Amino acid sequence: MMIETAPPDFDDGADTQIRACLNPSAPRSFFLYASAGSGKTRSLKNALDAFRAEHGALFRRLGKKIAVITYTNAAADEIAERVGEDSLFPISTIHSFCWRHIETYHRDIQEWLLNTLPTNLAELREKQAKGRAGKASMDRERAIASIMRRLEWLSVPRRFTYNPNGDNYGQDSLSHTEVLKITASFIETKPSMQAVLVNKYPFLLIDESQDTNKGLLEAFFTLATANKGKFGLGLFGDTMQRIFLDGHPELERLVPVDWARPVKRLNHRSPQRVIALGNVLRAPIDSQSQVARDDSEVGFVRLFVAPNGILDKPGFELHVRERMATLCCDSDWRNGPAIKSLTLEHHMAASRCGFLDMFQALDRDSRLSTGLRTGELAGIRLFTERVAPLIAVARADDRFAVMAHLRATSPLLKRVVIANSPTPEDPLQPIRSAVDALLALNTEQSSTTFLSVLKCIAEHQLFEIPSALRPFVLGDLTVEENEQINDDDEPDSEEESVGQSPSSLEAWREFLETPYNQTIPFSEYVSDRGPFGTHQGVKGLEFERVLVILDDSDARGFLFSYDKLFEAKPLSDTDRKHLSDATASGIIRTRRLLYVTCTRAKKSLALVAYTENPDALIAAAVRNHWFTIDEIERL
Binding site for ATP: what residues are annotated?
34-41
> What's the CA gap between 83 and 47, in Å, rounded?
10
Burial class (CB in 10 A: 0-12, 13-18, 19+), 12: middle
DSSP of 112-141: HHHHHHHHHHHHHHHHHHHSPSSHHHHHHH
3-state secondary structure string, 142-179?
HHHHHHHHHHHHCCCCCCCECCCCCCCCCCCECCHHHH
Closest C-alpha to 485, from 465, 468, 469, 499: 465
* CB 38 within 8 Å of CB 290: yes
What residue type is assigned to position 559 of the chain?
L
DSSP secondary structure letters along 420-478: T-S-TTSTTHHHHHHHHHHHTT-TTSTTSBHHHHHHHHHHHT-SPPPTTTGGGTGGGS-
Sequence-ordered list of residues with C-beta below 8 angstroms from that of 459, at least 6 positions apart, any chain? 437, 476, 477
CA distance 290 to 277: 10
Residue numbers belonging to the annotated binding site: 34-41
Backbone angles phi, psi at 603, to 5 degrees: -135, -55
Name the helix (H) or strand (E) containing 343: strand 339-343
Contacts of 312 (CB under 8 A, 6+ apart): none
